[in-house]
């Protein structure tokens, strides 16, 4: 009798081992991790992308890697991440050229305004009454040029036409309000505003800092996707050039180019930023 019980126990043990191995072999494969480098820790847009991948039955998991002050282009080129999404075409072109990085944009994301903010005055007219006002502009060549165009459109300066699409402070032809330009890294401008009279702030940085990008500026940049002058400033998802045709990355881009992601963009940026693929 004891032998019979022993035999049955052994039989059940063998069956258990067999089915355990079978279930392991039938289990879903581990998800494909795609590391995306960004300079914002705001999760809603990429959560919407992940929702689309899940709904499509794609076994792809987006892992956001928050990169600041590290240059996400260098991190991408080194293979530490798979994609990045923090920059526009103009910045990518110059940064990749300067650092000799072989990177390629694989999908448009959004277009954000640069607008004039102030902690000290309530309007553009009030700013014009200040003697020798200090105004912050980004210290990188690409975004400084765009910031100067905003100041020109606000009627504060005139620029030499010969400067083209990327003017610098030296290209200011007329400065009737005797503005003192202060150059600061873009991400640091919001926290530097109390030290100056006004500053040009990227909508993304403004939102991260708690500013209202619609009601907050004393002068707002105009966003129009049909304006060819703004095309270089459309933000993009970027890959290493060797991976530009990667099917997994194409699925990520497709998951980004969906209505719920457009809605997330409008929610995050309070309708100031524009989805670039629509």
**Separation CA 243–CA 237 (nearest Å):** 12
**Separation CA 252–CA 31 (nearest Å):** 14
CB 68 within 8 A of CB 115: no
Per residue in 84-130, pLDDT (tens digit) is 999 999 999 999 999 999 999 999 999 999 999 999 999 999 999 99
Is the pLDDT higher at 140 or at 79? 79
In the prediction, which pLDDT does 12 show? 58
Share of the chain above pLDDT 90, in %: 78
DSSP letter for 181, please: E
Helix, strand, coil share of the chain (percent; to 5): 45, 25, 35
pLDDT of 2 strictly over 60: no
Per residue in 176-208, pLDDT (tens digit) is 999 999 999 998 999 999 999 999 999 989 998
Q: Backbone dihedral region of 187: left (phi > 0), alpha (psi from -120 to 50 degrees) or beta?
A: alpha
**Separation CA 210–CA 218 (nearest Å):** 16
Per residue in 84-95, pLDDT (tens digit) is 999 999 999 999
pLDDT of 25 strictly over 80: no
CB 113 within 8 A of CB 232: no
Q: What is the mean pLDDT of residues 56-81?
A: 95
Domains 32-111+234-275 and 114-222 in one fold: yes
Give, in order, the Cα–Cα distances in Å from 55 to each of 52, 60, 116, 220. Answer: 5, 11, 40, 38
Query: Any idea which architecture 114-222 has in CATH?
Result: 3-Layer(aba) Sandwich (3.40)
pLDDT of 10 strictly over 80: no
* DSSP state letters, 113-156: -EEEE-SS-SSHHHHHTSSS-EEEEESSHHHHHHHHHHHHHTTS
**Separation CA 68–CA 188 (nearest Å):** 11
Binning pLDDT at 50, 70 and 90, where does residue 1 land?
very low
- Delimit the domains of the chain by residue range: 32-111+234-275, 114-222
User: H helices within 37-121, ranges in order?
Assistant: 44-55, 72-77, 89-99
SS3 257: coil
Question: Across the chain, what does the average pLDDT equal?
Answer: 91
Q: For the domain bounded by 32-111+234-275, which CATH number is listed?
A: 3.40.190.10
Q: Note the pTM of the prediction, 2 decimals.
A: 0.84
Q: Among the listed ranges 48-52, 69-73, 131-135, 234-238, which one has the minimum average pLDDT value?
A: 69-73
């Amino acid at each position: 009798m004891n032998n019979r019980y022993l035999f049955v126990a052994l039989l059940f043990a063998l069956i258990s081992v067999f089915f355990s191995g079978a279930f392991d072999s039938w289990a879903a494969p581990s998800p494909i991790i795609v590391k995306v480098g960004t300079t914002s820790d705001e999760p809603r847009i990429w959560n919407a992308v992940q929702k689309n991948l899940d709904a499509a039955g794609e076994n792809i998991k987006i892992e956001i890697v928050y990169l600041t002050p590290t240059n996400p282009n260098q991190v991408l080129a080194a293979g530490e991440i798979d994609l990045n999404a923090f920059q526009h075409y103009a910045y990518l072109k110059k940064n990749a050229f300067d650092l000799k990085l072989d990177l390629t944009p694989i999908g448009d994301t959004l277009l954000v305004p640069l607008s004039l903010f102030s902690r000290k005055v309530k309007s553009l007219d009030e700013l014009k009454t200040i003697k020798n006002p200090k105004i912050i502009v980004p210290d990188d060549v690409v975004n400084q040029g765009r910031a100067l165009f905003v100041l020109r459109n606000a009627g504060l300066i005139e620029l030499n036409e010969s400067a083209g699409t990327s003017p610098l402070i030296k290209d200011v032809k007329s400065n009737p309000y005797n503005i003192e330009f202060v150059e600061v890294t873009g991400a640091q401008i919001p926290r530097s505003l109390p030290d100056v009279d006004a500053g040009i702030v990227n909508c993304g940085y403004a939102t991260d800092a708690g500013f209202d990008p619609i009601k907050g500026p004393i002068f707002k940049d105009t966003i129009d996707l049909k304006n060819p002058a703004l095309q270089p400033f459309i933000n993009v998802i970027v890959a290493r050039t060797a991976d530009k045709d990667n099917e997994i990355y194409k699925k990520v881009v497709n998951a980004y180019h969906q209505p719920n992601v457009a809605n997330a963009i409008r929610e995050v940026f309070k309708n100031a930023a524009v989805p670039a693929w629509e």
